[in-house]
Structure 1
Amino acid sequence: MQQPEVRTMGQKTMGIKSVKTKGIRSWSSYLFVLPGLGFLVFFMFFPIAYNFWLSVKDVKVTNLNGEQHFVGFANYATIFKDELFTISLTNSIIFTGLSILFQFVIGFALALFFNKRFPGRDIMRSLMLLAWLMPIVITATLFKWMLAGDYGVFNYLLQTLGVIQQPVSWLTEADTSLYGTILANIWIGIPFNMIILLSGLQSLPDHLYEAAKLDGASRFQQFVHITLPLMRPTILVLLMLGVIYTFKVFDLIFIMTGGGPVNASFVLPLYAYQLSFITFDFSLGATVASIMFLILIALSAVYLWMLRKEEQTL
């Protein structure tokens, strides 16, 4: 007959102590999370919440220390009726769309090129990163000089090649100023796209390409049926990061054109800056910033939906 288990008082005490120790360890693990959580709350969540709260009030420089009224969504209605908002939103979409398109296409082509082994590959790849590592102020100033109408290198090259007959004021004409800033932003973003896509290409299994070669598949067929499907998660992440970064570009356009001429290169970040720090209507500036945030949140939701759909098909 099996004897019942007998536990002494010491064993019971040790069991209680072990439970208490586990509880203390579980609570102490949360203490290591508190600094990071506090940083996120203070520097991320609180500014976002305060910006939304500011957008539903009437806060200007004249009543900054006085009575501030709650106006609800009146600021949003004012912004949506403003013609400058429509111009800024349109320019932001054009700026973001064209920048992402050319950055991705050229970056992908360079990634495919540097994925091959040849002498000097590492040195050339490192030199390509200079465009991305260079400060925005320097890059914007250089492109402002190169695109100058009188002494710009860009006009000199185009005239030498016979593309244009007379100099073009790329940054001071309404038809070309936005595209001049897009050209500079494309140059900045190509190395980042190249590095991310190159890392994705180097992680692809080689045996799939060897099997495709044995089956007689051409390089184009390998690219369409092997490379692109396997690179889809990397491409989605890259495009999402590119849209978020490009949509909020401020310093490049501010230095090169200042939004001009005649608001031809005016984008949403410049619009929010003008309302907040030139006209000192802080609530309207916060409203534009909130609209930008909601647009990016919507794009992020689309990205997460596509990513989940991608995971379900695997």
Structure 2
Amino acid sequence: MSQPRTLAGKPGLSRRFGRWNGYLFLLPALLFLAIFVLFPILYNVVLSLQDVDVYNLNGEHHFIGFDNYEKVFKSSVFYTAFRNSAVFTVLSIVFQFAIGFALALYFNQKFPGYSTMRSLMLLAWMLPVVIIASVFQWMMNGDYGVLNFLLQSLGIIDEPRSWLSDSRTSLLSTVVANIWTGIPFNMIILLSGLQALPEHLYEAARLDGASRFAQFRLITVPLMKPTILILLMLGIIYTFKVFDMVYIMTAGGPVNSSTVLPIYSYELSFTKLEFSQGAAVSMIMFIILVFIAIAYLRVMNKEEVQ
């Protein structure tokens, strides 16, 4: 009776297949990264080193080196956008993290209805950014916004203010909306980390007479450090490249008072039709985020060594 033929009968073929089968499973993911991640980055690098604009979009493109970067660095709008991006990112991350951590500590306790309240908190994170930005734009409207009505009722302001069309408050208004959006994400990540902490350490600390603040400072914060670093890293990357929230609420105005780097890149590319200069701004943002990622990896390596 004949036996079925298998790869076991061909040791050379079996070894070759065993050597490459792992790479075959990785092939779809590698193709996806190459097409949708690596190619756009490389194309943007090439575009930033050429002279592509509306006049020669379909014509011949010349290599001009770092001239686009030089033009960008000579523009005062770039430094305004960079400062706005830094302020937008720092304020958003600080308040999102602080409020999210406080809520995570609160919901880490057992009380009636805590699961329902925790689920309701996630609604802000589940809503599309377009809806959130439109709601905040309506709330901060200078003519009929509910924010002016509330502040006037409390006696904080005497007359209505145009929060989004005032250069002094336009950027801070977008920060408030972005903070509200990011709080649930910070809360759920930190809450997951808190629930994974070993309870016996707190029991031992309570037996030794440690206060709740001492338990938080000496147990919770050190053990939560990896989770906190990851959360801050993700928050900085996401917030630094926020476009939709700011564009819907203010479109970068008035007079570039709320223009952040993604808005500036968009305006160069699709308003002024200076595609190569817009690509140069995008590459500057990419380089900044790469340095932030490198700093994060170095901190994590030091934590692992300790």
- Which TM class, normalised by the smaller chain length? over 0.9
| Residue in 2 that maps onto 1:77 | 70
1:15 is displaced (CA, Å) by 8.3
2:280 corresponds to 1:303: no
Q: Distance in 2 between matches of 1:28 and 1:302?
A: 35
Instruction: Determine which of 19, 22, 29 is the counterpart of 2:22.
Output: 29
Deviates more, 1:58-67 or 1:270-279: 58-67
Q: Secondary structure at the match of 1:163?
A: coil
Larger Rg: 1
Q: Give a deviation string over 1:164-201, Cα, whole Å, max 9, x none.
A: 11111110100000000000000000000000000000
Return the match for 2:208 from 179, 190, 215.
215
Post-superposition offset of 1:32: 1.8
The answer as to 2:84 corresponding to 1:127 is: no
The residue type paired with residue 250 of structure 1 is: F
Query: Residue 165 of structure 1 aligns to which amino acid in structure 2?
Result: D
Correspondence for 1:145: 138
Matched, 1:240 2:233: yes
Gaps of 5+ in 1: 1-13
CA distance in 2, matches of 1:65, 1:165: 56
Displacement after TM superposition at 1:19 (Å): 4.6
Pairing of 1:247-258 with structure 2 (within 5 A): 247-258=240-251
| SS of residue in 2 equivalent to 1:63 | coil
Given candidates 160, 165, 168, the residue that maps to 2:158 is 165
Q: Distance in 1 between matches of 2:23 and 2:92?
A: 43
Say which of 57, 63, 72 aligns to 1:64. 57
Greater alpha carbon shift after TM alignment, 124-133 vs 14-23: 14-23
Q: Is the 8 A contact 2:143 2:160 kept in 1?
A: yes
**Paired residue type of 1:216:** G
Give the number of equivalent residue pairs. Answer: 300
1:274 corresponding residue in structure 2: 267
Deviation at 1:74, TM superposition (A): 1.0
State whether residues 8 and 14 of structure 2, in contact with CA within 8 Å, keep that contact through their aligned partners in structure 1.
Answer: no
Residues 109 and 15 of structure 1, relative CA distance in 2, 3 Å threshold: closer
RMSD: 1.2
CA distance in 2, matches of 1:16, 1:122: 59
Within 2, Cα distance between the matches of 1:42 and 1:86?
A: 33
Deviations 1:61-117 (A, max 9, x none): 111122211111111111001000000000000000000000000000000000000
Name which of structure 1's ranges 31-40 and 284-293 shifts more when overlaid on structure 2: 31-40
Deviates more, 1:160-169 or 1:291-300: 160-169
Instruction: Find the aligned partners of 1:140 and 1:15 in 2 and give their Cα distance.
Output: 62
AA paired with 1:23?
A: R
- Identify the range of structure 1 (151-160 vs 23-32) with the bigger mean alpha-carbon deviation: 23-32
Q: Percent identity?
A: 61
The aligned amino acid for 1:73 is: F
CA contact (8 A) 2:96 2:183 kept: yes
Gap regions ≥5 residues in structure 2: 1-6
C-alpha deviation, 1:158, in angstroms: 1.2
Q: 1:206 to 1:57 in 2, by over 3 A?
A: same
CA contact (8 A) 2:95 2:179 kept: yes
The equivalent of 1:312 in structure 2 is 305
TM-score (norm: length of structure 2): 0.96
Cα distance in 2, alignment partners of residues 218 and 22 from structure 1: 62
Q: How far, CA to CA, are the matches of 1:160 and 1:131 in structure 2? A: 26
Cα 1:211/1:19, change in 2 over 3 Å? farther
Matched, 1:46 2:14: no
Question: Per the alignment, in what secondary structure is the counterpart of residue 273 of structure 1?
Answer: helix
Displacement after TM superposition at 1:16 (Å): 7.5
Runs of 4+ in 1 over 6 A off after TM superposition: none
Tell me how far apart the structure 1 counterparts of residues 148 and 132 of structure 2 sit (CA, whole Å).
18
Amino acid at match of 2:303: E
SS in 2 for 1:270: helix
SS of alignment partner, residue 273 of structure 2:
coil
Q: Partners in 2 of 1:227 and 1:158 — Cα distance?
A: 38
Letter aligned with residue 259 of structure 2: F
TM-score (norm 1): 0.93
The match for 1:9 is none
